[in-house]
């Protein structure tokens, strides 16, 4: 699915300053910012049209707590990968709505870049290069699928 081409990233965030900042971080991480959506309707239209490799999705959008539905739709109907970016990590459904994981808010510049680099390796190789970076939590299904716990160094 993922090649050596930069990941194309759709940002789903209703706070314009955060969306703009994320756009810069995405570009600095070597990915391509393909657009910003501020509501669930806008996100679904853009995801369907653009078919991004990755969507960074806030849970609470302009039209309410609809980010979970957006992520699920992007994963199921657009063939994309979703990552949540939220301060409400505990409110995510157990299955993470099909998203690969979550970057908790408040996040740092380093944290976002490290999470994007880590995820790109996971998608390319089909396994994790080690434990996720600080501030990034893989969805339980993907932590198991990508054998995150198999790459933890054994104490000795």
pLDDT of residue 114: 95
pLDDT: which is higher, 53 or 153 = 53
| Cα 130 to Cα 128: distance, rounded to the nearest angstrom | 5
| 117 pLDDT tier (thresholds 50, 70, 90) | very high
pLDDT of residue 2: 47
Residue 155 reports pLDDT greater than 80: no
For 18-59, what is each residue's pLDDT tens digit? 999 999 999 999 999 999 999 999 999 999 999 999 999 999
What is the pTM for the complete model shown? 0.90
Q: Which long-range contacts (CB under 8 A, 24 or more apart) does 32-38 make?
A: 32/6, 32/7, 32/8, 33/9, 34/8, 34/9, 34/10, 35/10, 35/11, 36/10, 36/11, 36/12, 37/10, 37/11, 37/12, 37/13, 38/12, 38/13, 38/14, 38/62
pLDDT of residue 150: 60
| 149 pLDDT tier (thresholds 50, 70, 90) | low
> Which domains are present in the chain?
8-150 (3.40.50.2300)
| Cα 12 to Cα 28: distance, rounded to the nearest angstrom | 18
Residue 102 reports pLDDT greater than 60: yes
Residue 65 reports pLDDT greater than 90: no
150 burial (CB, 10 Å; 0-12 / 13-18 / 19+) is exposed
């Amino acid at each position: 699915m993922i090649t050596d081409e930069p990941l194309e990233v759709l940002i789903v965030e209703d706070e314009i300053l955060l969306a703009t900042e994320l756009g810069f971080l995405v570009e600095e991480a070597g990915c391509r910012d393909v657009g910003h959506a501020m509501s669930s309707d806008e996100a679904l239209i853009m995801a369907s049209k653009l078919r991004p490799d990755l969507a960074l999705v806030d849970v609470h959008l302009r039209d309410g707590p609809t980010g979970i539905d957006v992520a699920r739709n992007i994963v199921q109907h657009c063939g994309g990968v979703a990552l949540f970016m939220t301060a409400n990590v505990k409110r995510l459904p157990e299955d993470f709505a099909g998203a690969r994981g979550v970057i908790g808010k408040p996040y740092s510049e380093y944290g976002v870049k490290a999470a994007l680099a880590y995820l790109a390796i996971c998608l390319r190789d089909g396994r994790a290069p080690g434990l996720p970076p600080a501030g990034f939590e893989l969805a339980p299904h993907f932590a198991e699928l990508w054998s995150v716990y198999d790459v933890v160094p054994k104490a000795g």
